[in-house]
Structure 1
Amino acid sequence: MKIRDKRISDQRLLLSNVEINSLGPDLVLENCDIHSDCQSKALTISGLTMTGGRFVQQDRALTDFHFERAHFWGVKFLGDFNGCTFGDWDSVEVSSIRDCDFTEAGLEDSRFLNCEIESIRLPKWPAFTIVNPAEAREFVMSRPWPSKTRIALDVYTDTDPECVAICGDAAQLAKRDDIPLDELRTLLKAVPGMKIIG
């Protein structure tokens, strides 16, 4: 599907992994539902503004995708978004996100740049979020951690201040480190900026 230079309201858009899907430039979606089974190589965004509606990633995770040149406001995300980036390193004029709902989404290793993270509804435990992860780096590096958790926290906190939040999946970390999930929760709660819901 290739759509550009349009304003579309109250429609359902299907993005298939069997073709390259292009959203934009100058595409405005109002209260639309995007249903995608795309891998990152099957999706390009070159100017999208989406207000309301849902972005449903179905059948497979969208992995290592930067939602560049995309503005999301009041959108509900469903499905798995692993290693994805929302927002822009330099300017909210390029990409932005606010008032969006990820309560039913997986966000393992995904990050939010230059946004008001308080306006974003995040998923519940065993998901977790480190707000302002760069500020937690000194604490993380000064503590003993289970090996895989240490690697993940090292990566999460080795970032610039423009990264206002990064998300992880404690269930995956606990499994990799072969430790009880409750034990990992106790360890993670000590990290500055840690946000655990539920």
Structure 2
Amino acid sequence: MRGNLLRSLQDARPATAEMLIGGRSSLVVVAPHPDDETLGCGATLSEASRIGLDCSVICVTDGSRSHPASRDWPAARLAEERRRELLAAVGRLAPGAEVHWLGHPDCAAPEGEDAARQIGALIPRDALVLGPWIQDPHIDHERTAQLLRLLGSERLDLRFLDYPIWGRFREDGEVPADIWTLLARDAEGVKRAALTLTAAA
């Protein structure tokens, strides 16, 4: 099933990573869960690294509720595995990228200005920040998107772009008027390889 956003992307303006980056020297991906960085913008992260940007990933929650009924994977063990997978996937996409693990419980991403400032302290000046689309139907995605909006009201030096995960399949919701689709075919193979390293694969 193709949602409103996916249908809109068929006619979206094509862009290269260089166009989206717009002359900035660093790229920061803010991921609600480990694997969102790969699913949502792995190709962009790979391209940014390839052309020489300083890259980093901020992971907000520990992803520990992806297998809630599993006896083999209790929350603490699963969180550690998800962290290991995150480091491996980012290492494949953007070798040398810094990874910040905030470690909030899955489905309990923080809210408020203090949490936004905690994220902001990890983001260098004039960076391009990629974060989750606020219409993604998951509490952690919604809260993380809200944190970035709070941060954007204070950090006018930053440029923010959204990436969709689950929201791309929604039939309802407002589709942004300014949509771009990344032309990064060479990076797609790297993204697929990184996905094999994650629990979402």
Between structures 1 and 2, the one with greater helix share: 2
Do Structure 1 and Structure 2 share a fold, with TM-score over 0.5?
A: no
* Higher relative contact order (CA closer than 8 Å, sequence separation 6+): 2
Bigger Rg, structure 1 or 2: 1
Between structures 1 and 2, the one with greater strand share: 1
- The TM-score with structure 1 as length reference comes to 0.21
- The TM-score with structure 2 as length reference comes to 0.21
